[in-house]
């Protein structure tokens, strides 16, 4: 069985096909930022890969980081615990660039009128102090729908300790607003500290529609070609995530460039230069 | 890499040359040192700018304190260097070449250069103050590049900066 790696960068898309006998075939094509999936399949066609002999496709993409850097993400809303909608804007009291005396914090990705609060409270052990106000979640979902958001981040207090309120909220939002992408904080980043978890969930919601559409298109076209293997996406950590998972947490593939290079240069030093490993 | 240091030095020297030659002063007092509560402690900064060189002399600052606000020399240098770079080339990637035109004088056995076994647990207050003082000293010579000092220790603060919601305010 063969394995195929496809890395879509801003300028070029690289293809590396690894056969069972360790024969390596390489192909390269200019990237098309507006039609990344077409380039994906063009390379596969040029390599003359028989899908029935293909076991795994490993895919790296700069689509997420480019979406963030170019500010081309979705219109998003946030539903959070009552009293805490300004956590995203308050952020931390530090000056990130210490030498820049005139540093200003970036604008939050969700403006205040799209940050909605609902009653319901858990403590740090995950014990319920106040039950989730389901009617309030429905109302919030309807309001965000009326405001034409495409994607909704949900971040409740202490959801890392107990996800039930967030999971129930996702069901309710889906009933009221089935088209919306939903980014749940305990899925995206199961860590304590509200600002960091809220911020990461919001950024995930921001890139979710674009990355979700792209990966779903790839999955569909691969299915049409009768590919039965796995489509894996490279994470920022250098590890893999199945495409279905990556559609839920595209933030995990934010920074694939540096992460892929280092493991690759370890297993295959000759790839970057004639024998000397140089990961970057 | 040496060339990078040299270019950074040239750049920062050009910025210092733009500052009018002169002697610039600023001083303030810490309310106390944490142990001797009835004694204010002085921090004094004398900045001398001559051509492309800057000398920051901390002579005149209080003697070493019995409380823990003493700031070891490495922290003193770091605070002054932070202010120096922020005033000259804030957005350049930092390297040691930027610090070549800067000289820091901090006499031994003072609050800004304590020796063993002086207590130094709460060194941060003087560090913040030093950076603020260098910026304040340079304010008359570098209008538009200097900001007001920051806070030290506080319980809570409320503020509004966005004028869309009303008049800006600060409540400490």
Mutating which of A101, A104, A105, A106 best tests the B interface, going by the most B Cβ atoms within 10 A?
A101
Give the pLDDT confidence of B86-145 residue by residue, as tens digits.
Answer: 999 999 999 999 999 999 999 999 999 999 999 999 999 999 999 999 999 999 999 999
- A22's torsion region: left (phi>0), alpha (psi -120 to 50) or beta? left
Mean pLDDT of chain B: 94
How far off is chain A from B81, nearest CA to CA, in Å?
Answer: 10
Contacts of A101 in chain B (CB under 8 A): 86-87, 90, 135, 145-147
Please report residues of B whose CB lies closer than 8 A to that of A99: 82, 85-86, 90-91, 94
The reply to whether B160 falls in a domain is: no
Q: How many domains does chain B have?
A: 1
Domain parsing of chain A, residue ranges? 2-67+212-271, 72-207
Residue B51 lies in a domain: yes
Q: How does pLDDT run across A101-134, given as a tens digit for each residue?
A: 998 888 899 999 999 999 999 999 999 999 999 9
Please check whether residue B169 lies inside any domain of the structure. no
Looking at every residue in chain A, the average pLDDT score rounds to 88
What domain range is B78 assigned to? 2-147
Chain B interface includes A107 (CB < 8 A): no
Give the separation between CA A29 and CA A46, rounded to whole angstroms.
10
Q: Do the bridges between strand A54-61 and strand A230-234 make them parallel or antiparallel, or are there none, so unpaired?
A: parallel
pTM of this structure:
0.79
In this predicted structure, what is the pLDDT of residue B151? 75
* Nearest chain B Cα distance for residue A103, angstroms: 10
CA distance A49 to A7: 16
Domain assignment present for residue B16? The answer is: yes
Residue B99 in domain: yes
Q: Give the CATH class of A2-67+212-271.
A: alpha beta
Q: Judge whether B170 lies within some domain.
A: no
Residue B114 lies in a domain: yes
ipTM of the complex: 0.82
Q: Considering only CA atoms, which of B146, B141, B105, B136 is closest in space to residue B17?
A: B141
User: What pLDDT, on a 0 to 100 scale, did the predictor assign at position A260?
Assistant: 56
Asked whether the predicted pLDDT for residue A261 surpasses 80, the reply is no
Cβ-Cβ contacts under 8 Å for B160 (sequence gap 6 or more): B166, B167, B168, B169
Decide if domain A72-207 falls under CATH 3.40.50: yes
Cis peptide before B117 (omega within 30 of 0): yes
B contact test, residue of A99, A103, A105 with most B CBs within 10 A:
A99
pLDDT band at A258 (very low <50, low <70, confident <90, very high): low
């Amino acid at each position: 069985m063969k394995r195929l790696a496809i890395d879509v960068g801003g300028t070029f898309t690289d293809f590396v096909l690894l056969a069972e006998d360790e024969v390596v075939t390489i192909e390269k094509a200019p990237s098309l930022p507006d039609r990344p999936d077409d380039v994906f399949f063009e390379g596969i066609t040029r390599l003359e890969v028989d899908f029935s002999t293909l076991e795994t496709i490993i895919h790296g993409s700069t689509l997420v980081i480019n979406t963030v850097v170019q500010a081309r993400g979705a219109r998003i809303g946030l539903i959070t615990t009552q009293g805490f909608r300004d956590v995203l804007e308050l952020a931390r009291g530090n000056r990130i660039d210490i030498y820049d005396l005139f540093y200003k914090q970036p604008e939050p990705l969700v403006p205040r009128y799209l940050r909605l609060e609902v009653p319901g409270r858990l403590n740090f052990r995950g014990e319920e102090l106040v039950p989730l106000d389901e009617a309030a979640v429905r109302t919030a979902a309807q309001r965000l729908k009326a405001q034409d958001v495409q994607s909704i981040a949900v971040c409740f207090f202490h959801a890392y300790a107990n996800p039930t309120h967030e999971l129930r909220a996702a069901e309710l939002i889906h009933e009221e607003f089935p088209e919306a992408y939903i980014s749940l904080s305990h899925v995206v980043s199961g860590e304590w500290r509200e600002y960091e978890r809220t911020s990461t969930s919001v950024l995930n919601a921001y890139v979710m529609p674009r990355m979700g559409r792209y990966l779903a298109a790839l999955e569909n076209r691969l299915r049409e070609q009768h590919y039965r293997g796995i489509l894996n996406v490279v994470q920022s950590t250098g590890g893999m995530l199945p495409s279905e998972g990556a559609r839920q947490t595209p933030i995990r593939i934010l920074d694939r460039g540096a992460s892929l290079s280092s493991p690759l240069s370890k297993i295959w030093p000759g790839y970057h230069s004639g024998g000397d490993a140089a990961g970057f | 890499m040496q060339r990078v240091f040299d270019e950074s030095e040239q750049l920062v020297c050009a910025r210092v040359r733009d500052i009018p030659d002169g002697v610039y002063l600023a001083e303030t007092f810490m309310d106390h040192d944490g142990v001797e509560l009835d004694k204010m402690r002085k921090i004094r900064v004398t900045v001398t700018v001559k051509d492309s060189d800057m000398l920051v002399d901390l002579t005149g600052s209080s003697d070493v304190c019995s409380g823990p606000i003493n700031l070891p020399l490495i922290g003193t240098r770091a605070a002054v260097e932070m202010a120096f770079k922020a005033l000259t080339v804030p957005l350049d990637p930092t390297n040691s070449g930027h610090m070549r035109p800067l000289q820091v004088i901090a006499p031994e056995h003072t609050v800004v250069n304590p020796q063993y076994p002086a207590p130094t647990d709460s060194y941060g207050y003087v560090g913040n103050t030093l950076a603020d003082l260098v910026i304040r000293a340079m304010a008359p010579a570098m209008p538009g590049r200097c900001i007001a000092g920051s806070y030290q220790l506080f319980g809570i603060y409320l503020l509004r900066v966005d004028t869309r919601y009303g008049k800006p305010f600060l409540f400490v």
